[in-house]
Amino acid sequence: MSLKSVLKRCAKFLVYGQPVVNKYVSVAHIDDNKLLAGKKILVTGGTSGIGLSVAKKIIAAGGEVIITGRSQDKLNNALKEIDSNNCKAIVFDIANITSIKSKFLDVVDLFDGKLDAVVSNAGIYKQKNFFDYTLDDYTRTMDTNFTGAFFLAQATIKYWLDNHIDGNLVFVSSERGIMSDVHPYGLSKVVCNSFVEGLAKQYGVNDIRVNAVAPGITATNINNINPDGNLWFDKRRIMRPEEIAEVVKFLLSDASKCVNGQIVACNEAYSVNMDC
């Protein structure tokens, strides 16, 4: 390094107060079945629907996964369905805010002290007439869909920062979070999307990536639609959970290393506003 460039850097540091950072990235070809090789990933709400599909995709791509759910029976069924040594399960109610920190440590222990990525997927869906929502409906939806995800993200990012891990956080949000809404479900997802962008901006410098998928109506048991049945409803197509899981897999992998703070809508352009 010449004296001139050293002086230039010193001047830059003095003027802007920021040290000059050199960063090098190499992009290699990644085989599909090794996309998540060696990665240890937590999937909340992994007993059914999108969460279960994501867990299956992770294992098929060579990763290890821990699924969480509220009931042991459902977890056992999911474990049986996945049928792999790379899948473990733990009972974890995300709506129980005070237990999140200790449960998170249990998850890290189960993974032998290393966690690479988290898929924050657990959510409930309850739709009523706007005038019929009670305080209980509101708080249950908000606690599960957002507050739990917030404190799980807090615990996770703290762990990644302390252990200098380039973590990867993927939220399963909803297209409802992109549009205006009066229902607690939609509002919880709005908050989620804003949170994803904020986290990405704040912790991008620490090489932590935060993204979200925003699926349209998806054929899961949250809305009792059979994925093998007719997938045309109300002038639009219903998504299959495997399709959403594919996008989550991409966001989890190093193939999407340059993607950060994005809400990827998976709804065939339904939420694209063409009216104005």
E strands along the chain, which residues?
Answer: 40-43, 64-69, 87-91, 117-120, 168-172, 209-215, 232-233, 236-237, 263-266
Helix (H, G, I), strand (E, B) or coil at 64: strand
Nearest alpha carbon to residue 68 among 55, 83, 84, 81: 55
Tell me if 98 contacts another protein by CB under 8 A. yes
Residue appearing with tokens 């109300």:
234
Q: How many residues bind another protein (CB under 8 A)?
A: 39
**Single residue of 5, 76, 127, 194 touching another protein by CB under 8 A:** 194
- The Cα–Cα gap between 42 and 58 comes to 10
Letters for 227-256 (x = contact with another protein by CB under 8 A, - = none) are: ------------------------------
- The Cα–Cα gap between 178 and 173 comes to 9
Tell the smallest beta-carbon distance from residue 135 to another protein (Å): 5
**Single residue of 42, 196, 214, 247 touching another protein by CB under 8 A:** 196
- The Cα–Cα gap between 2 and 7 comes to 9
By beta-carbon proximity to another protein, the closer residue of 139 and 223 is: 139
Binding window for another protein (CB under 8 A); candidates: 106-114, 153-161, 226-234, 251-259: 153-161
**Single residue of 77, 84, 86, 154 touching another protein by CB under 8 A:** 154
Binding site for another protein (CB under 8 A): 97-98, 130-131, 133, 135, 138-139, 142, 146-147, 150-151, 154, 157-158, 161, 179-184, 186-188, 190-191, 193-202, 261
